[in-house]
Amino acid sequence: MVLDRKHLEKQQRKDLLLEAAAHVFGRKPFDEATMQEIAAEAQIGMQGLYEHFASKRELYEQVLTRRSEHFFARAEEALREARPPLEQLRAMFQVYADHFKDRVLWLPLFIHHRFYFDWGFQSRFLPRQREIYEVERDRLKDILRRAVEAGLLQDLDTEFLTQFCFGVLEASLHRSHRGGVEEDPQACVDRALACFLQGAGARP
């Protein structure tokens, strides 16, 4: 029982440090953030921080992996139900809008790492995040392929449609968070989907 309590307390301290690191990395790029800032954010000593994480890189990887896993789980749940392709596309957009509503500082980081993935650059970090991007991209391509086959989208290259889709979604997310007025996630989704369909929707 004592061991169980100690394990729980250790996990709680680790969670606290990960949350503190999320705030610091959300405010500053990796190279500028320091372990001292993270320890101060968590109100813990440096020794306590290094008891859980051997380096800033390890801490950064665990923070982003945890965030990515959370996003991945929400997307899996939202898209589990079999629905027409455009309804699935809306559901996917909704996951993005909901996920970043209270995590605006993480949106630029998310886009930065996916930019590396999209352009084939080798990131220094995050093999698990790369796996999640691959699954996410394949899932979107499948939705768009089915939409083309159903005559709902123009018969364009699926790679182009995928990149266009992400671009429109990211532009709408940027508008939501940089427009100066707090916006309901549904408005972000409606705008992104309308712009995407206006550009790639089936022509009469």
At 132, the amino acid letter reads: I
The CATH number of the structural domain formed by 62-200 is 1.10.357.10
Tell me how far the alpha carbon of residue 97 is from its chain's centroid. 10
| Cα–Cα dist 108/177, whole Å | 11
pLDDT of residue 23: 85
> Does pLDDT of 106 surpass 90?
no
CB 182 within 8 A of CB 97: no
Identical fold, 1-54 and 62-200: no
The CATH architecture that domain 1-54 belongs to is Orthogonal Bundle (1.10)
Contacts for 169 with CB less than 8 Å, ≥ 6 apart: 93, 96, 192, 196
Confidence of residue 1 (pLDDT cuts 50, 70, 90): low
Kindly report which listed range (84-98, 115-129, 144-158) carries the lowest average pLDDT score. Answer: 115-129
Domain boundaries, the chain: 1-54, 62-200
